[in-house]
Amino acid sequence: MNTHINFAIEADKNDPLAKYKEQFYFPQHNGKNAIYFCGNSLGLQPKKVAASIQTELDTWKEIAVGGYFGGKNPWLYYPDQCKPALAKMIGSKDSEVTVMNALTVNLHLMMLSFYKPSPSRFKIIMEAGAFPSDQYAIETLVKHFGLNPIDTIIEIAPKEGQKILHTEDILNTIENAGTSLAMVMFGGINYYTGQFFDIEQITRKAHAVGAIAGFDLAHVTGNIPLQLHDWKVDFAVWCSYKYLNAGPGAVGGAFIHEKHASNIDTPRLAGWWGNEEKERFKMEKGFIPKASASGWNLSTSQVFNTAALNASLTIFNEVGIEALRKKSLLLTAYLEYLLSQLTNISFEIITPINPSERGAQLSLYFNKDGKAIHTKLIESGVIVDFREPGVIRVAPAPLYCSFEDVYRFYEIIKDNF
Ligand SMILES: *Cc1c(COP(=O)(O)O)cnc(C)c1O
């Protein structure tokens, strides 16, 4: 790598995924595509989405209620279309994945299925500084069971003066909680630091002390390939509007390991869409769940926003998550390299330097001028976000970001500060 623009141009020429950039709409800046490094917050719109939604609009217009059983994609089975692509991404069987609701709702549903506090085993381990919605979900879950969050929730924070967690410390905390631990509920990637946690080891340790292991994969799905089935993760949830590019309010996803999903006696809060399709319209008493993750679906499928996800997933299916990760590792390493060459500003990369402990995102902490640098980037047509007290999160999503985009970002900071 070097700091000449030609390196970026050459890298883009050699990038087998470069052609996918044109499958997305970009916000415009002075008549040109902006550079978009916010795919960790809201992914760009794939151009295919409109046609996919239009198809269902047409079905609704032409056959109305007939669309549940007829039309191009009968709505009764509509969410099933997403499963193969998602299963490949997260390393699961099709029967272990479902789409429904949205992330925080699914987090509650999963925790209500799997968190079974007893007088001796009731503690929950989570990361300190988790995304606020996860903090609120766990706090209110605990109160729902009449327990006190302070006595129940164990938050793992980085060591004094550090920003990231050591896997050893996570595993030791689980070990020490021992038989008092009911559940580990961890993020996959921390939204602020960009740290990717060792899901396999955390799960193994949780199981060793007899606890459930659940994960929030909001920043992981579509970013890093996983093996949730083989790692024996109990459950996971995610949203589809970040790296999955399915748009604001997109339908959320959930993974439930086969050992629980195939057991129709696994406790859950149910609705008719989790019932066997053949029985569903008999409108009879007595819930008989599907023996799969779909047995957690509650309501009539959200066809329009699932249509957006379906369209987006066709791109992931074509590219493959492994190829995407390969490019992502190069792109983020290039970003890290260029940042390391800057001598005109003072900042710290708080994301782990080890590429296997991070996804696309780097979080840059500025103890001064962070806001000014953010403003300059936005004015220059580079969309990144700013999080108090001075962190700029930069996420070059490999589906639609190029090496030249990363170079331009570097050049703006180099030439203006
Ligand atoms: C983005 C994100 C959320 C958002 O939850 P919604 O229910 O989709 O609004 C929750 N948790 C984490 C870790 C996130 O990154």
The 10s digit of each residue's pLDDT in 259-310 is 999 999 999 999 999 998 777 778 888 899 999 999 999 999 999 999 999 9
The pLDDT-based confidence of 186 (bands split at 50, 70, 90) is very high
- Name the nearest CA neighbour of 35 among 24, 49, 46: 24
Residue range 5-33+321-416 forms a domain whose CATH class is alpha beta
State in Å: Cα 226 to ligand 1 middle: 19
Distance (angstroms) between ligand 1 centre and the Cα of 260 equals: 24
138 Cβ contact list (under 8 Å, min separation 6): 111, 124, 126, 130, 149, 153, 185
Confidence bin at 221 (pLDDT 50/70/90) = very high
| DSSP β-ladder status, 181-187 and 212-216 | parallel
CB-based contact 309:246 (threshold 8 Å):
yes
Give, using CA atoms, the residue closest to atom 1 of ligand 1: 218
User: What is the Cα–Cα distance from 375 to 394, expressed in whole angstroms?
Assistant: 14
Distance 400 CA to ligand 1 centre (A): 22
Our mutation pick for probing the ligand 1 site, out of 110, 131, 221, counting the most ligand atoms within 8 A of Cβ, is: 131
For residue 50, the model assigns a pLDDT of 98
The helix or strand, by DSSP H or E, that contains position 237, with its residue range, turns out to be strand 235-238
**Taking the CB of residue 284, how many other CB atoms lie within 10 A of it?**
10
Place of tokens 């740290």: 195
- CATH, domain 53-317, list 3.40.367.20, 3.40.640.10, 1.10.600.10, 3.40.50.2000: 3.40.640.10
Q: How confident is the model over 190-212, as a mean pLDDT?
A: 98
Rounded to a whole number of angstroms, the CA Rg of the chain reads 22
As a whole-number percent, the residues of the chain with pLDDT over 90 amount to: 95
Provide the pLDDT for residue 295: 97
Domain boundaries, the chain: 5-33+321-416, 53-317
C-beta of residue 328 within 8 angstroms of C-beta of residue 359: yes
CA distance 69 to 60: 12
- Give per-residue pLDDT as tens, 372-382: 999 999 999 99
222/210 Cα distance (integer angstroms): 30
User: What's the one-letter identity of residue 256?
Assistant: I
